[in-house]
Amino acid sequence: MADILFSNVRILDGSGEQPYEGAVLIQGNRIKRVERDSETTGDGSMAVIDGAGATLMPGMVEAHTHLSWNDQPTLEAIALLPPEEHTLFTAQMAKRYIDMGFTSCVGAAAAKPRLDVVIRNAINSGQIPGPRYLANGQEIATRGGLGDTSPPHLEFPELSFGYVVSGPEEIRAAVRRFIKYGVDLIKLNLSGEEIAGVAAEETPMTDEEVAVAVEEAKRRGKRVCAHARSSESVRMCIRHGIEIIYHASYADEQTLDMLAAAKDKHFVAPGLAWLVRTSEDAAGFGISPDSPLGLQYARERDIAIETMAKMHRRGIRVLPGGDYGFAWIPHGQNARDLEYFVNLVGMSPMEAVLSATKLGGAIMGRPEELGQIREGYLADIILVDGDPLADIRILQDRERILAVMKDGTFHRAPDVAADERSLRWAV
């Protein structure tokens, strides 16, 4: 395969440095050279893409992805899609994420035990397009907690959204089962969730259960993530070394101090879009803003925004993404989280970009080779029409994302017909 040269681009490299003009050479699946102020137009041995001043930046990373949530209004409806249709849907969503410039995603639980694993394997073997993907199992739920959606008179595992356990031995068995299936991550539902009828500030899973689950996962080299909205559940994550903390809305001051003291060991992905949209945009699906549920989500939204601003000020790593895949928060709009980070949490546009790139490489477990445009790094790159630092919202627009490259190969090459942008695709 010929080398690929992006010339005449504005490089937003994901290191934190301000963008600069230059050229980037891709050789195989790696970034071979980053040239500043270069006006090189390449030579005959390489494919040259004249970026016409477009922004070249690292592919974005989604920190809390559920590829198999099928844009339905309830957990029950997601769980009840038959496996055949569900597999096809999940494959289509893998394509949608990379189409939208997300070249890596952290799986935050699948709706069926093996869905994530099968999709990850199909992506990696080239059968279907998709991002780099860390596969998860089903979310592990306590009986009666968030994720236990089977009706009381029909307690069949197949009917439930989460994988239901009760007690240390059952949770041990669940973790071992998912590891057998080939997951990269284990997901534990520590706290409640209002839409599931379990208060977000409740913590149904016990310390004993969490300890066993984490011990089993770590014994086999697997990472652990947790649904943790209550302050107590965030403390559990810190106590047990659960690396990836989802939500963390109600973390109180003392918990924030504990987290700040261990900030290099944890990532937080709040999933703000879920709170914003559920409290504001779900009326068409039975959750009007002035309903009891709408008001609960509005309260949590406001508290979570405050909590994330505090975390950000303390240098805790806050990342975008989370819980897209419901009717009122469909897959593909994930870059909205960056807009929320800027407008609600108080990040600068640069900090928001870094949360999706540099920190993204870190949460993927590959900070030394993923998430930046830097010599030797993996060539996961997007070409963007415009300046995301001037308007962070352009990252939500598929039309503005002119090209997507993963591992040195174009998922979407720049459109030759896009002459109005004076892009040239010369081979």
Residues of this chain that bind Zn ion (CB under 5 A): 108, 323
For the four alpha carbons of 283, 289, 295 and 297, in that order, the dihedral sign comes to positive
Distance in Å, CB of 130 to Zn ion, minimum: 19
Distance in Å, CB of 146 to Zn ion, minimum: 10
- 3: tokens are 């080398």
Question: Which residue is it, tokens 């038959």?
Answer: 82
Is the CB of residue 61 less than 8 Å from the CB of residue 406? no
Q: Which is nearer to Zn ion, 150 or 189 (CB)?
A: 189
Is the CB of residue 107 less than 8 Å from the CB of residue 341? no
Is the CB of residue 306 less than 8 Å from the CB of residue 272? no
Distance in Å, CB of 328 to Zn ion, minimum: 15
The residue sitting closest to Zn ion, measured at its beta carbon, is: 323
Q: Which is nearer to Zn ion, 139 or 380 (CB)?
A: 139
Q: 185 phi and psi, to 5 degrees?
A: -135, 155
Distance in Å, CB of 271 to Zn ion, minimum: 6
Q: Which is nearer to Zn ion, 195 or 338 (CB)?
A: 195
Q: Which is nearer to Zn ion, 194 or 323 (CB)?
A: 323
**Cα 296 from chain centroid?**
25
Distance in Å, CB of 66 to Zn ion, minimum: 6
Strand partners, 326: 72, 329
Q: Which is nearer to Zn ion, 116 or 323 (CB)?
A: 323
Q: Which is nearer to Zn ion, 49 or 67 (CB)?
A: 67
Distance in Å, CB of 34 to Zn ion, minimum: 36
Distance in Å, CB of 129 to Zn ion, minimum: 23
C-alpha to C-alpha distance for 192 and 54, rounded to whole angstroms: 44
Polymer length in residues for the chain: 427
Reference 327, options 287, 363, 355, 356; nearest CA is: 287
For the four alpha carbons of 20, 362, 386 and 94, in that order, the dihedral sign comes to positive
Distance in Å, CB of 147 to Zn ion, minimum: 10
Q: Which is nearer to Zn ion, 6 or 326 (CB)?
A: 326
Q: Which is nearer to Zn ion, 106 or 356 (CB)?
A: 106
Q: Which is nearer to Zn ion, 23 or 109 (CB)?
A: 109
Reference 7, options 73, 45, 56, 57; nearest CA is: 56
Is the CB of residue 59 less than 8 Å from the CB of residue 381? yes
Q: Which is nearer to Zn ion, 138 or 307 (CB)?
A: 138
- 116: tokens are 């994530």
Is the CB of residue 92 less than 8 Å from the CB of residue 49? no
At residue 187, the 3 state secondary structure works out as strand
Q: Which is nearer to Zn ion, 110 or 401 (CB)?
A: 110
Q: Are strands 163-165 and 3-11 parallel, antiparallel or unpaired?
A: unpaired
Reference 406, options 382, 376, 372, 423; nearest CA is: 382
Q: Which residues have CB under 8 Å from 321's CB, separation 6+?
A: 61, 62, 63, 64, 65, 105, 106, 269, 271, 334, 337
Distance from the first to the final alpha carbon of the chain: 12
Distance in Å, CB of 231 to Zn ion, minimum: 19
Reference 100, options 352, 350, 344, 334; nearest CA is: 334
Distance in Å, CB of 108 to Zn ion, minimum: 5
For the four alpha carbons of 262, 346, 275 and 384, in that order, the dihedral sign comes to negative
Distance in Å, CB of 83 to Zn ion, minimum: 21
